[in-house]
Structure 1
Amino acid sequence: MHTDLWNFALKLYARPGVEAACLQWQDLGGDVCLLLCGMWLSARGVAPNRQRVRQLTTLANAWQADVVEPLRSLRSSWRDNAAKDARLAGLREQLKGLELAAERILLERLEQACQGWTAMPEAELDWISWLAPKGAAVHHDALHRLRVVMHRLRVVMRTAQDAEDGV
Structure 2
Amino acid sequence: MSSDLWSFSLGTYARPGVEDACLRLQSRGVNVCLLLCGLWLGQRGVACNEQRIKQLRDVAEPWDVDIVQPLRALRRQWKAGAAEDVELNTLREQVKTLELQAERQLLLRLERSAKSWPQDEATDLSAWLEGMAAGAANLDRDALHQLRVAVTGT
Q: Which residue of 2 aligns with 1:116?
A: 116
| Structure 2 unaligned residues grouped into runs of 5+ | none
Change over 3 Å in CA distance of 1:10–1:66 after alignment to 2: same
What pairs with 1:124-139 in structure 2 (closer than 5 Å)?
124-125=124-125, 126-135=127-136
Deviations 1:107-165 (A, max 9, x none): 00000000111124446442011112425567721011112223228xxxxxxxxxxxx
CA contact (8 A) 2:26 2:32 kept: yes
Higher-Rg structure is 1
Alpha-carbon separation, structure 1, partners of 2:140 and 2:34: 19
Change over 3 Å in CA distance of 1:139–1:96 after alignment to 2: closer
| Structure 1 unaligned residues grouped into runs of 5+ | 154-167
Q: Which residue of 2 aligns with 1:84?
A: 84
> Which residue type is aligned with residue 117 of structure 1?
W
What pairs with 1:4-43 in structure 2 (closer than 5 Å)?
4-43=4-43
Alpha-carbon separation, structure 1, partners of 2:146 and 2:87: 39
Greater mean deviation of Cα atoms: 73-82 or 133-142: 133-142
Alpha-carbon separation, structure 2, partners of 1:67 and 1:124: 31
Using the aligned pairs only, state the percent identity. 51
Aligned residues: 153
Runs of at least 4 residues off by over 4 Å = 135-139
Change over 3 Å in CA distance of 1:122–1:103 after alignment to 2: closer
* CA RMSD after TM alignment: 1.8
What TM-score, normalized by structure 1, do the two folds share? 0.85
Alpha-carbon separation, structure 1, partners of 2:120 and 2:3: 18
Alpha-carbon separation, structure 1, partners of 2:110 and 2:136: 24
Alpha-carbon separation, structure 2, partners of 1:74 and 1:135: 23
What TM-score, normalized by structure 2, do the two folds share? 0.91
